[in-house]
Amino acid sequence: MEKENFIDFSDLEVVALAGGVGGAKLAHGLSMVLPDENLTVIVNTGDDFMHMGLFISPDIDTVTYTLSAKANPDSGWGLVNETWNTLEAVNKLGGPAWFQVGDQDLATHLVRTELLGKGLNLTQVTQYFCERWGIRVRVLPMSNDPVRTIVFTKDGRQLAFQEYFVKERFEPPVKEFSFEGVEGARLTAEVSSAIYQADLVCICPSNPWVSIDPMLSIPGFRQLLKNKMIVAVSPIVGGKALKGPAAKMYQELGIEPGVEAVAEHYKGLIRGMVIDEIDSANADLLIARGILPMVTNTIMKSDADRASLAAQTLKLAIDLTGRAIHQ
């Protein structure tokens, strides 16, 4: 694919922090406007879980499927042209069919489990899939060590993330979150080096609570981000999340969901924020917080939308850098 931009991004080393569908789409957009070697996508692994013996890494799969243009375009997750023979048989057998795993998708989990069993770490396994699928940007799990997002519900339960998210369709009101194992999770050399070399870190429109916070909680991660140019794309649009429970979580935690809540979430971290046209009235609130806003369409319906949002996000960072230079 020919990469053509009005602004030259070829000198920009970019790290994107991504969760699932929204993050994957922006990462795909960034891969369309940046030279392959200039982009590293660091992906949340707090959703990873063992399911019927298989190691499943939902966000890594969504990101790699999206980057290699084989994600199901309707749902954003899973594979296009998927079949469901095994899941149907698991269901008939009374097995756990709540996690929607298609026949082709299953092969990913089987091969990942096999490779991990052979002693490869998650970074190497992810690289293996990227090579197989012709993905030339770097995709890195946030850590090779297990970090497991736990959702504490207001009715006093502790749910593993996928149980909360898929099995219970994120219905139970949340009280708080914990990232099991995060205090022992180590930064990988690949993640450290990518962030160290980055001119810009882009926080994708992913769930701040359960997609970005797990990464930020890894010991040393925030330290690495210090003095980096960081911009975020708001996952909240018009007070709502396009997908998933981000807005619902803010509400349940007593915070009005909106771009200001996201700005507050990333306080001290971001210097710019891309918000949707529908939220343009809130631009001043961001400026008052010292955050440079960029107002544009943030709803990525097409590949062109993805590329355009990516370009706008990079432009915001360049504006901020210019501003810094000229201050």
Positions that interact with a second copy (CB under 8 A) = 50-55, 83, 85-90, 92-96, 103-104, 106-108, 110-111, 113-114, 117, 129, 132
Minimum Å gap between C-beta 84 and a second copy is 9
Structure tokens at 74: 């309707």
Q: Looking at beta carbons only, is 92 or 226 nearer to a second copy?
A: 92
To the nearest whole angstrom, how small is the minimum distance from the Cβ of residue 117 to a second copy?
7
CB of 73 to a second copy, least distance (A): 19
C-beta closer to a second copy: residue 90 or 278: 90
Rounded to the nearest whole angstrom, what is the least distance from the CB of residue 109 to a second copy in the complex?
8
Q: In the bound complex, what is the minimum distance in angstroms from residue 68's beta carbon to a second copy? A: 12
Given the complex with a second copy, which of 49 and 170 has the nearer CB atom? 49
Q: At closest approach, how far in Å is the CB of 1 from a second copy?
A: 23
Give the contacts of 93 (CB within 8 A, at least 6 positions apart). none
Closest to a second copy by CB, 133 or 152:
133
Which one, 40 or 45, has the nearer CB to a second copy?
45
d(CA 115, CA 166) in angstroms, rounded, equals: 26
